[in-house]
Amino acid sequence: MRPLLGEEEALAAAEAVRSGWVAQGPRVREFEEAFAASVGASHGVAVSSCTTGLHLAVHLLGIGPGDEVVVPSLSFIATANAVRYTGATPVFADVEAETGNISASTVEPVLTERTRAVMVVHQAGVPADVDALKAFCEPRGIAVIEDAACAAGSTYKGKPVGTDALLAAWSFHPRKLLTTGEGGMVTTDDPDWAVRLKRLREHGMSVSAADRHNGGSAVIEQYLETAFNYRMTDIQAAVGLVQLSKLDAIIARRRELAARYHELLAGTGLIAVNDPEYGTTNYQSFWVWLPEGADRQEVLAGLAERGVSARRGIMASHLEPAYEGHPRAELPVTEAFTARTLILPLFHDLTESEQDTVVSALSETLHTSRLTVRG
């Protein structure tokens, strides 16, 4: 992945610096409104990362020690960590092999009387079937939080992912399509929640620094609750506004490149990430399943020798040292997914010649690997 950054972003950041207002201020507010509108939400609350956004979402719902939140293990470790930050217990659910996402059928076996929420991840931009999950969870009094870190611009049933979300958290890390360097956003349709989220990200202050500055009279703020410092800067927001204006073009280019990958891989027998029947992915990552028995490390090494930088597939959090000994159910699809997938290069400026090189190198590496296995 290479972020698409250029002169427009540089100028926007410089303008923010020259304005003298570099902390959270008017550009953050403008970015919040524009991003929320783009994903079909009523309110956006800019934060320092998707991780802090997820933490705030869980905290907002009053979830804490003794409570459980179901999460996929097949996700960046921040998904589970955000639950731990509140003192609650993350409970790992398996995923569907086709999408890499949890579903009602994978969540049901791990529910207990202590389950307060399910955190569904739109993995690598592939939309999860949120309506089916809500239909299962909501009658049971279980909240559905959306980890939409990778999903800006993906669609679900003809609408942007995040539309009608109870709470959705987004990432603007450089590996995402829309980047502010670091940074994130929480979106919601609840106006009271939006007000409290803005307070929670800023030490619990009753009046933000920007509002105090623009109030025209002396205002002494109060600190209404124990809270956090999870703010975004105006420099980041300035970059984000430019990036948001490019998002449609970025997605169109990635989908064009992904379609060509599918064509090139058609004769290899490899299964690659694709759109689910109910939505479209932004192809934040392009993963492929390796043949059973293939040594992924050998394949990655072979690609590197041929000048291609690929990555292991999506991590399984329950296999990391941080979660060693953490109670869990069997997760066979998750473990197969993390062991047998790898992520191919995909970025805006990728050329057809470079794509040809990637697929050729992959085919050669797999052929050599099979010959080695056969002896």
Does 1 fall in a domain? no
- Of 188, 217, 244, the last residue of a domain is 244
Instruction: Provide the pairing of β-strand 167-171 with 184-188.
Output: antiparallel
Same domain, 312 and 202: no
Instruction: For residues 32 and 160, state if they share a domain.
Output: yes
Would you state the pLDDT for residue 20? 93
- Are 160 and 153 in contact by the 8 Å Cβ rule? The answer is yes
Q: Where is the domain boundary, 224, 244, 264? A: 244
CB-CB contact of 184 with 48 (8 Å): yes
Distance CA 339, CA 314 (A): 9
CB 314 within 8 A of CB 333: no
Classify residue 286 as exposed, middle or buried by CB count within 10 Å of its CB (0-12, 13-18, 19+).
buried
The whole-number pLDDT of residue 375 equals 34
Task: Give the type of residue at 283.
Answer: Y
Contact 136, 165 (CB under 8 A): no
The reply to whether 136 falls in a domain is yes
Pairwise CA distance, residues 2 & 176, whole Å: 9
Please tell me whether residues 327 and 192 are part of one structural domain.
no
Query: How many degrees, rounded to 5, is the angle at CA 112 between CA 106 and CA 116?
Result: 90
Domain at 327, CATH number: 3.90.1150.10
Which helix (DSSP H) or strand (DSSP E) does residue 337 occupy? helix 332-340
| Residues paired with residue 147 on neighbouring β-strands, in sequence order | 121, 169
For residue 214, the SS3 value is helix
Could you tell me if 262 and 212 lie in one domain? no
CB 322 within 8 Å of CB 77 = yes
Alpha-carbon dihedral sign for residues 93, 188, 181, 284 = positive
Q: Which residues, other chains included, contact 136 with Cβ-Cβ below 8 Å and sequence gap of 6+? A: 104, 107, 108
Domain that holds residue 367: 247-373
Same domain, 240 and 252: no
User: pTM of this prediction?
Assistant: 0.95
Tell me, what's the pLDDT at 93?
98
- 15 found inside a domain: yes
Please confirm, yes or no, whether 176 is among the known catalytic residues: yes
CB atoms within 10 A of CB 77: 16
Task: Let me know if residue 2 belongs to a domain.
Answer: no
Supply 230's token pair.
């999870």
Q: What is the predicted pLDDT for the residue at 370? A: 61
pLDDT tens string, the chain, 375 residues long: the values are: 899 999 999 999 999 999 999 999 999 999 999 999 999 999 999 999 999 999 999 999 999 999 999 999 999 999 999 999 999 999 999 999 999 999 999 999 999 999 999 999 999 999 999 999 999 999 999 999 999 999 999 999 999 999 999 999 999 999 999 999 999 999 999 999 999 999 999 999 988 877 777 766 777 889 999 999 999 999 999 999 999 999 999 999 999 999 999 999 998 889 999 999 999 999 999 999 999 888 999 999 999 999 999 999 999 999 999 999 999 999 999 999 999 999 999 999 999 999 999 999 999 999 886 654 433
256 domain residue, yes or no: yes
Catalytic residue, from 157, 159, 176, 198: name it: 176
Domain count, the chain: 2
Domain-ending residue, one of 244, 275, 298: 244
92 contacts 86 by C-beta, under 8 angstroms: no
What CATH number is given to the structural domain containing 42?
3.40.640.10
